[in-house]
Structure 1
């Protein structure tokens, strides 16, 4: 089947003008709203079938695998980025060195710092632009966000992967601020993690973890539970434990309703021309950067200095949804945005 065009994908959304905050919370497609509304009504009547939720989880898992160019058996599901980061951090051998990015999102930092406090790991933090050159033969793992949350800056993933492979280090990548607006090939990395409630426009509480077969053998399933069993419904009671041989052994018991709304959202993006979405989003972002006097970039996220919060206050007064991070105003352009949103921002800030 031909991929959905940008216009076809946009037809599934009814997002208000001025919503420029997909990097904080995505807006759901109508299919997700309908799924959650219908499920809430059925729940209220006592018609709740766990098997139906399990089917939604598998639909979402398969769609995410297609979207990220990996096999379905390489995808685990959970609820939060930090849970999977903690599995990776806790599985590293004692004495490992982990290379992190200064200012990266804390869910990709704190799990490793906890292990450092326990005396198990050594953590080094470097600026994003120095990440690839900072990899050395002593580096065990490079952990970073593909797109930085605070600034929208893109990591030079090719350079980092090349450096990691040259020095025998593994790569663990947070793709939360990337998947949905830019093509991502998760098979390039040893492991990735992605929360779906931002650019994939799903309910909060659904996260995907991709892991290569080789790297999975180096991880301990610290979160083992009934849902990570080889036979899910046959794993409800101990003490016998048979975990799945695939990445499912890292599954975390799903928040049912959230997954019922996630499946249709991720399926839409897996059926779409994401390269067209990227061109649209980056084009709008760069148009705003020109008005702001900021250098152009390949990111759909635009940030600029706002130390006193006056910029974000002006946007809010004009009913423009943005956010403030690390002393900077932040807006994001997704598939539903258009040139009129640029005019709204410029009008709110008094820009020509």
Structure 2
């Protein structure tokens, strides 16, 4: 907890994580360099590669299978563009729009998106399903999905898999290895600045996806790829890179270095232990997940917490309370006291 800024009363890691002191120092140093006219793209490139390696450590895949970008929806759009005309994509009801909208946007060429109840996702795949896409942890409810069952079902029917790890990586032990594609924005549980995202690709995905967003940063030699007309892209996942949002990367590398040094299983026990303590305190059923959600259609509970100086969030008619590294029992007690009123 001491590595982070004071996070007491902040229960919104599912909206945006808090920085470590090291992250703030790295970003302030970078601002000073910029303010002094010392912008060094090569230095930023080194940070991107360091971040790629560190993220690989977090999700258990080698750096050569990781592409970097800024937004998960743009990465998902690469997958959507690669689907054949008329393909079927299956998604869970109410999943985050960044892994739903890119497929809906392909309707003009017959791509069909079939939405099913989350609990029926694994049993809803058919022989004509081209892809199944879902979030490992659901944004609106915090539910941890049985992703292994979905992967197994997809393999049975020959469907490819896309899993969004944004609400999982950094708090829940995860591996990107079982999936064809994963997408992850690092500004939530990984506690990086907004503007740093990652896509992992299986060997199969590296073969069938096309780098539709290719620019200079996708080149085999970045600095020899600044001008056309010749194009020689990287042989590995870097051919899916987009030009990095430079000033987000110093802080992102510091954040990822910190997360990679931690035991994620311990982080999950800490978060779910606090969450279960809260549900016990308010007389609700244990959810055993890092995000506790409570019906709050009117928003009155969220408003009461805000009035008490507690930061939480509301989605889909529910109050969301997210527990992460900086939270402790005092946060549970404070929330329980407000909700009791």
SS of residue paired to 2:162: strand
Q: Displacement, 1:317?
A: 0.6
Aligned residues: 341
Match among 208, 216, 220 for residue 206 of structure 2 = 216
Cα distance in 1 between the residues matched to 2:322 and 2:336 = 15
Aligned to 2:180: 190
Q: TM-score, normalised by structure 1?
A: 0.95
The alignment status of 1:49 with 2:27, answered yes or no, reads no
Structure 1 unmatched ranges of 5 or more: 1-9
Match among 87, 90, 112 for residue 78 of structure 2 = 87
Aligned to 1:124: 114
Are the aligned partners of 2:17 and 2:192 in contact in 1 as well (CA < 8 Å)? yes
| 1:56-84 CA-partner distances (Å, limit 9, x unpaired) | 11111000001101011000000001001
Cα distance in 1 between the residues matched to 2:335 and 2:31 = 37
| 1:24-63 CA-partner distances (Å, limit 9, x unpaired) | 0100111110011011111111111111111111111000
The alignment status of 1:157 with 2:143, answered yes or no, reads no
Aligned to 1:323: 313
Cα distance in 2 between the residues matched to 1:139 and 1:20 = 38
| 1:281-327 CA-partner distances (Å, limit 9, x unpaired) | 01111111222333222310011110111000000011100001011
> Structure 1 stretches (4+) deviating beyond 4 angstroms?
none
Output the aligned Cα RMSD.
1.0
Aligned to 2:289: 299
5 Å-filtered alignment, 1:206-245, equals 206-245=196-235
Q: Displacement, 1:270?
A: 1.1
Aligned to 2:242: 252
| 1:169-220 CA-partner distances (Å, limit 9, x unpaired) | 1110000000000111100111100000000000001000000111121111
Q: Displacement, 1:126?
A: 0.6
SS of residue paired to 1:238: coil
Aligned to 2:299: 309
Aligned to 2:123: 133
Structure 2 unmatched ranges of 5 or more: none
5 Å-filtered alignment, 1:34-45, equals 34-45=25-36
The alignment status of 1:285 with 2:278, answered yes or no, reads no
SS of residue paired to 1:192: strand
